[in-house]
Amino acid sequence: MAEITAQVLVVGGGPGGYVTAIRAGQLGLDVVLVEHGGPDGGLGGTCLNVGCIPSKAIIHAADAYERAVEQAKSQPFGIKVEHPTIDFARTVDWKDGIVGRLTSGVGALLKRHRVKIVQGHAIMVDGKTCRVETDTGPQAIQAGHVVLATGSMPAALPALTFGGRVISSTEALSLQAVPERLVVVGAGYIGLELGTAFAKLGAKVTVIEAEDRILPIYDAELVRPVARRLQALGIEVLSRTRAVGLSDGGDAVRVERQGAAGRSLAADRILVATGRRARVEGFGLERLDLTMNGAFVAIDERCATSMRNVWAVGDLTGEPMLAHRAMAQGVVVAELIAGHRRVFDGAVIPAVCFTDPEIVTVGLSPEEARQAGHEVHTGTFPFQANGRALTLAAEDGFVRVLARADNHLVLGIAAVGAGVSELAGAFGLALEMGARLEDIGGTIHAHPTLGEAFHEASLRALGEALHI
């Protein structure tokens, strides 16, 4: 068996793994990265191959198609379009082209920083040794430091196992035709992002959610504009409803709703989007003496596990399962291995839901602030009073700023509206830099932009709003 030795072994080539490897390479470390490919597609992991990037491509195409359809019905902008159609197979090809460009880019970056890539299935032997099954035979890798970055996978339901008409987000992003009837199980961000996109593309969409309302992790004020939009798109939402299995013929999903008789929902496709689970099986985790945190690998503030020189980053370590969290952890780990003094501070991690309209949150919600014992000032500014939003015909939504009442330190920022995901950087920077309301209010914001709503919300919390 061939053997490789390295200073750093990274298991997994997703956002956490490849960023760890690139940063370690930049710091002059000898790095080997093992990527198995498989359902995640290879370098870039779930996010780049079958998650963040392809889903946003499909969402953009769906938005463009819906706008064309609307222009065929009425011409508020003076633009006339007749009978738009979509060749969804070409849309998927376009999406795949974007993914291909980005995965190639990741490979080029790793090569530029002298990271050795081993394609194959990694099995940990112990805390310093890994056996990789490659196309050319087994390969052993020994390293002083091991970074586990195996990511996550769609969570299946016992009553609806994947296969046939029952699909995960992975298969949904590679469909060659828009299903006529789509049932989405789970009204979290994955289910609603894809459900909304397919509704715009012409599918009849029904969403099933076991909780009382959609997007239960977000506060109700942020969710209301999204709920209105779902209704406008003709998406039926069944809350307090559970999927209990397929019909005898397999062409419908049986559901049970609290206080109502069971029913069957006919479906060409059934998208199960009830969350993701850490990938803890299949790579020899059981051979490592690691402390677990429930279903996740436990780590400390440095992303160190309970074994010396074994680190873990990304979805394997728990919520929030976000690519940018994994990337930030990867940088911290690489710099620690190189001898730098670093800790991972996850207090300011933006969360974005690419629904229509979009939702972005950073920091505390009003309820979380109250539970923490803070007396707060809140300022909200509606996009109905924002000139740029009006010119985009996207006036539904608002920006909300939450700050301590005593010293005006900003504790949380949230927004719901078209394109607000692009404000996430400004929101995160404000919290990371310890901004007060006066800092945001005193910063000149360009006009006309959506960002002015951030400025005005801060002024409103101070009682000094100018445009409302």
Nearest-angstrom CA–CA distance, 354 and 144: 40
Tell me which of 36, 408, 447, 467 is the catalytic residue. Answer: 447
What's the DSSP call for residue 393?
T
Residue 15 near residue 152, CB atoms below 8 Å? no
Q: Which residues are CB-neighbours of 286 under 8 A, at least 6 positions away?
A: none
Residue 39 near residue 175, CB atoms below 8 Å? no
What's the DSSP call for residue 49?
H
Residue 17 near residue 79, CB atoms below 8 Å? no
Q: Which residues are CB-neighbours of 336 under 8 A, at least 6 positions away?
A: 302, 303, 304, 311, 342
Query: What is the SS3 assignment for 131?
Result: strand
Query: What is the SS3 assignment for 441?
Result: helix
Residue 209 near residue 273, CB atoms below 8 Å? no
Q: Which two tokens stand for residue 268?
A: 């060409």
Find the radius of gyration of the CA atoms of the chain: 24
- Placement of tokens 């995960």 in the chain: 168
Peptide bond into 154 cis (omega under 30): no
Q: How far is CA 31 from CA 164, 223, 300, 463, 464, in A?
A: 41, 44, 23, 54, 54
Nearest-angstrom CA–CA distance, 388 and 182: 35
Told to judge if 447 belongs to the known catalytic residues of this protein, a careful annotator would answer yes
Chain Cα centroid distance, residue 63: 19
Q: Which residues are catalytic?
A: 447
